[in-house]
Amino acid sequence: MYAKLRLYIVVILLLGFGIGLTLYKHFALGFPLSPDDKKSVWTIEARIDFVARGDPVIVSFALPPETPDVVFMEEDFASSDYGFSELTSPSGRRAQWSKRVASGLQTAYYRLSMYETGQIAHPAMAADLPSEPEKPEFDEVLKTAATTLLDQVRSKSANTEIFTRELITTLNSKAPSQNLSLLINDQSSEDYKTHLIINLLALEGISARIVRGLYLEDGRRRQSLTNFVEVYIGNEWLLFNQNSGKSGKPKKFLVWQRGDQSLLDVVGGKNSQISFSIIRNVHSTRDLVVRDSMNKQAGIIDFSIYSLPIEQQNAFKMILLLPIGALIVVIMRLLIGLRTSGTFMPILIALALIQTTLLTGIIIFLTVVGTGLLIRSYLSRLNLLFVARISAVIIVVIAIMASISILSNKLGLDQAMTVTFFPMIILAWTIERMSVLWEEDGPREVFIQGGGSLLTAVIAYLFMTNRTIEYLTFNFPELMLVNLSLILILGQYTGYRLSELYRFHALERRNVAGKR
Amino acid sequence: MLLASAKKLRSFGIIGMNQRNFGLISRYNPRHLYPLVDDKLKTKLLAQEAGITVPKLLGTVQYQHDVKSLKEILHPYSQFVIKPVKGSGGKGILVITEHDHNLYFKPSGDAMQLADIERHVSNILSGLHSLGGKPDTVMIESLIQLDPVFSDYSYEGIPDIRIIVLRGYPIMSMLRLTTHASDGKANLHQGAVGVGIDIGTGRALHAVQYGESVTHHPDTRKTFSELTVPHWDKLLQLAAACYEMTGLGYLGADLVLDRDQGPMIIELNARPGLAIQVANRTGLAPRVAVIEAIKTIDPDPQSRAAFSKRQFAFDADIRPPRLLRTRSDDR
């Protein structure tokens, strides 16, 4: 009883640890559970042009903030002969290019590769609290118009969110009232509109700020930033589209700058211009996550197979598949009751099949073993000592393999040359064991055990070459613990094997007939 | 139906391989005792110490260079059996029934040269038939003489009686008859006939070959209904005594009847197979449950044999309920 309890505790611990680690990697680090998971990587290039006047030049450019919902893979800054520094201030990061003397047309580039993680952005942090909105100064006429408008909107709304939305839709209405026309006036630019909304909200005592961002669309050039209004409602900032009044951050949208600071400052230059171009690339999510985690030095990734050189990683790709093969063998022997020649010989054959592909592999295996058995039956007449005989069989196997390779090469069958992937010693042992089996128990037993081994090997092969299984075993090695616990549980199975249901089927008939 | 339902088999008390390995072998047979039965020379010595009759040991060969002396060892005997000391499942056993000058004859009449025998011996020494291919020793035993009782029931070989002994109590038995198909060997999977024997009387109950019921011997055409194993009490007692001899709680004792010397033990097995259930058309589990329910084991093999005779007799009034749980179930 005690031993069983202990086993179950171990199994539960292993299961919990294996599955827990897998879920952690999936949810916290973003490892996808499927090998086909892809992500868009956006490469954004900001190009700054200005004409320098021959004086010292300082260009200051706002950089996008790194939030939890985006991962910045790479940032590049380029400009000829400019000194460069990146400054961090409470209001955000800024890039600063500087030069003692410059004249004529100047260009600076900033390039960013990033992808969205799909995680929901966390609510604004404590440091991001709004200051008390300053009462804007309107002249009398405008103030009256504003108050009227606000009264009108207020009467139609129940809370701040609805109020904001209502205000924006009213401002954007196709047929503006007189009051509205006065406020909006004709030369209304996007910036003017944004500030108008913020000012109107301030008049109402609501904190708001300007947010500039970029819509991510593939192949776009000469894009500019889009203005949004962010309103502080109930302890968090909420983004509003200033043209439609829709709230929330749109998809495929990168927030570039928050607050009223300038996007670009050029000292010692004029006619400054900024334009963005965007290109999309598709990458496997897993590659992106591994790279990101390695950069962040996440302990769980830093001390994992990914930290090994590529060659060793490839070796482990194979090695980590072995437990799957072992599980198949356990199932085949304990649950199905298939007899195999040699307990784990089928796994080694399956490994060879992975290299040779299924059909070629089976044909080669049968050819080598069949020829080997023929030659072995001759060797048994030579009256050899056992160790010498098995060594002779090894040499025979190598000779057969070499002939298969050469012959197939001459015939132009490239596939058959993969014969070298079969483990020679194992083949030699298989031949030796089969031949003894043949002599003692007859060909029937040879076919049963040989067929059993091959069937197990093929099933193990099918599982081990499954893309998803291959992907999961390599990227989630902790699933090996789940596998281990399965094997531990199977080790406790005392029920009938499938083959025994056949073996004892005669008994059932008797007992049915014998019951009076 | 090609497959039996697991539920029915369980209700008949059939024990499967997994349950045997888990609930019987690993439970009752401590690993360190295995060498006592895996090494047939040790078993023989143990049996002789315990006063149990065994086939006479004619000689042993331990090293390759001793193979040359084989001729002298074999010279005085016209009949003998060559066995690997650590062989399993009857592998590597060579029976010679006639010796004429340089020719040795197998029961089938096939002749062998001395060189053939030497090769066989050298194969055994290199571990061809031993578990895990370990180097082995060869033993040469006197040939058992077929008891006339079985002369109608066996073909070119000596039948043996397998008795399963649990905690010292014989619980099931079968007679294994050699056939032409089994090449004179008493191995069921090679085609020997297994005859379930009533523990109470030694009478034949039911016979199978290749897992299917048969009513008469395939070669001699003799029906099994009149077959009764003589010296039955003695055989049961010998089997029961193997418990004290080896300490193994679950063992299969292979016994033979020699025409001149009567019952003797030829081999013990720490991992006896399950075919005996097919031959008896009965599951082991209810009998295991009866023995597991016994609190203290009777120290006297004879009274244990007597207990089994009463308890497991085919027509006895006291029959164990079929659904008795075995102890391995409630672990």
- B113 to chain A, any CB pair closer than 8 A? The answer is no
Do residues A247 and A395 share a domain?
no
Total residues found in chain A within this entry = 516
Residue A14 domain-assigned (yes or no) = no
Q: Is residue A446 classed exposed, middle or buried when 0-12, 13-18 and 19+ CB atoms within 10 A define those classes?
A: buried
Cβ separation B64–A493 shorter than 8 A: no
CATH number at residue A260: 2.60.40.2250
Kindly state whether B208 is in contact with chain A, defined as any CB-CB distance less than 8 angstroms. Answer: yes
Domain chopping of chain B, boundaries: 6-52+147-312, 57-142
Q: Answer whether A508 sits within 8 Å of B122, measured CB to CB.
A: no
Same domain, A470 and A322: yes
- Amino acid occupying residue B237: Q
Question: Is residue A486 included in any domain, yes or no?
Answer: no
pLDDT computed for residue B239 by the predictor: 93
- Residues of B with Cβ-Cβ distance to A435 under 8 angstroms: none
Tell me which chain B residues have a C-beta less than 8 angstroms from the C-beta of A498.
3
Coil, strand or helix at A102: coil
Which residues of chain B from 65 to 94 reach within 8 Å of chain A, CB to CB? 91-92
**Residue B330: predicted pLDDT:** 45
Mean pLDDT value of segment B38-56: 89
* Structure tokens belonging to residue A83: 């000194």
| pLDDT attached to residue A145 | 81
Query: What mean pLDDT is predicted for residues B66-93?
Result: 86
User: How many CB atoms lie under 10 A from the CB of residue A55?
Assistant: 14
E-only strand ranges, chain B: 57-61, 80-84, 94-96, 98-100, 103-105, 111-113, 138-142, 160-166, 169-177, 193-197, 204-209, 212-214, 250-258, 262-269
Q: Is residue A65 within 8 Å of residue A255, measured between CB atoms?
A: yes
Is the CB of B4 less than 8 angstroms away from the CB of A494?
A: no
CB contact under 8 A, B16 and A4: no
Give CA torsion, residues A254, A256, A260, A266, to 10 deg. -150
Does A380 lie in the same domain as A320? Answer: yes
Strands A264-267 and A269-284: unpaired
Q: Is A235 left (phi over 0), alpha (psi -120 to 50) or beta?
A: left
Query: CA nearest A254: which of A78, A70, A60?
Result: A70
Measured between CA atoms, how close is A365 to chain B, in angstroms? 24
- Contact between A386 and B122 using a beta-carbon 8 Å cutoff: yes
Q: Is residue A489 part of a domain?
A: no
Contacts of A141 (CB under 8 A, 6+ apart): A182
CA distances for A393 relative to A353, A384, B92, B124, B126, angstroms:
22, 11, 21, 18, 16
Report which residue type is found at A118. Answer: G
Span B22-41, average pLDDT: 89
Q: Distance from A386 to chain B by nearest Cα, in Å?
A: 5
- Residue linked to tokens 């089976």: A362
> What is the 8-class DSSP label of residue B140?
E
Residue A130, beta-bridge partner list:
none
What's the CA gap between A499 and A480, in Å, rounded? 28
Q: Which stretches of chain A score pLDDT less than 50?
A: 126, 512-516
pLDDT of residue B315: 66
Query: Given B23, B126, B274, which is nearest A494 (Cβ)?
Result: B23
Distance CA A500, CA A115 (A): 56
Phi, psi of A457 (to 5 degrees): -60, -40
Structure tokens at A194: 């944004």
B328: pLDDT strictly greater than 60: no
Query: Per CB distance under 8 Å, which residues of A are interface residues toward B?
Result: 1, 3-4, 334, 337, 383, 385-387, 436, 440-442, 445, 492-498, 500-511, 514
Q: How far is A516 from chain B (nearest CA, A)?
A: 15
Q: How many CB pairs under 8 A join A and B?
A: 96
Tell me whether residues B9 and A507 touch, CB distance under 8 A. Answer: yes
For residues A79 and A215, membership in a common domain is answered with: yes
Contact B1 A386 (CB under 8 A): no
CA B17 to chain centre: 18
Please check whether residues A327 and A459 belong to one and the same domain: yes
Closest CA to B142 of B56, B267, B260: B56
CATH homologous superfamily for B6-52+147-312? ATP-grasp fold, B domain (3.30.470.20)
Name which of B2, B16, B189 is nearest A496 (Cβ-Cβ). Answer: B16
Residues A280 and A328 both lie in one domain: no
Which residues of A are less than 8 Å from B208 in CB distance?
506
Per the structure, the count of domains in chain A is: 3
Best of B2, B5, B9 to substitute, by most chain A Cβ atoms within 10 angstroms, is B9
Q: How high is the pLDDT of residue B320?
A: 47
Could you say which DSSP state residue B231 is in?
A: S
Looking at the domain assignment, is residue A220 inside a domain? yes
Q: Which of the listed ranges A123-137, B175-189, B315-329 does the model predict with the highest average pLDDT?
A: B175-189
Radius of gyration, alpha carbons of chain A: 36
> Domain residues for A160?
132-206
Say how far apart CA A27 and CA A41 lie, in whole Å.
Answer: 20
Tell which of A504, A508, A510 to mutate to test the B interface (max B CBs under 10 Å).
A504
Q: Is B19 on the interface with A (CB under 8 A)?
A: yes
pLDDT tens column, B207-226: 998 888 888 888 888 888 88
Q: What residue has token string 């598949």?
A: A321
For residues A35 and A467, the answer to whether their CB atoms sit within 8 Å is: yes
Q: In what order do the strands lie in the sheet with B80-84?
A: B57-61, B138-142, B80-84, B94-96
Distance CA B53, CA B137 (A): 22
Which residue of chain B comes nearest to A515, CA vs CA?
B12
pLDDT tops 60 at residue B326: no
The token duo for A268 is 């010692």
Whether A33 is in a domain gets the answer: no
| A330 and A433 housed in the same domain | yes
Q: For residues A221 and A200, what is the distance between their CA atoms, to the nearest angstrom?
A: 34
CA distance A255 to A227: 10
Does some domain include residue A9?
A: no
Can you tell me the distance from the alpha carbon of A292 to that of A277, in angstroms, rounded to the nearest whole number? 24
Whether A405 is in a domain gets the answer yes
| Shared domain check, A342 and A399 | yes
Per-residue pLDDT tens over the stretch B90-135: 778 888 888 887 888 888 788 888 888 888 898 888 877 776 667 8
Neighbour tally for B185: CB within 10 Å? 23
pLDDT at B17 over 60: yes
From the DSSP assignment, how many helices (H) and strands (E) are in chain A?
17, 13
The answer on pLDDT for B161 being more than 90 is yes
**Separation in Å, CA of B53 to nearest CA in chain A:** 29
**Bridge pairing between strands A103-116 and B57-61:** unpaired
Chain A residues touching B277 at Cβ < 8 A? 504, 507
How confident is the model at residue A138, as a pLDDT? 74
User: What integer pLDDT is reported at residue A429 of this predicted model?
Assistant: 82
CATH 3.30.1490 given to domain B57-142: yes
Residue A183 lies in a domain: yes
Geometric angle at alpha carbon B232, from B231 and B237, rounded to 5°: 100
Which among B5, B18, B22 is the nearest to A497, CB-wise?
B18
Confidence (pLDDT) at A514: 42
A178 and A84 belong to one structural domain: no
In CATH terms, are B6-52+147-312 and B57-142 the same topology?
A: no
Q: At what angle are helices B301-312 and B232-246 packed, to 10 degrees?
A: 120
* Whether residue A461 sits in one domain with residue A418: yes
The reply to whether A330 and A393 lie within a common domain is yes
pLDDT of residue A128: 65
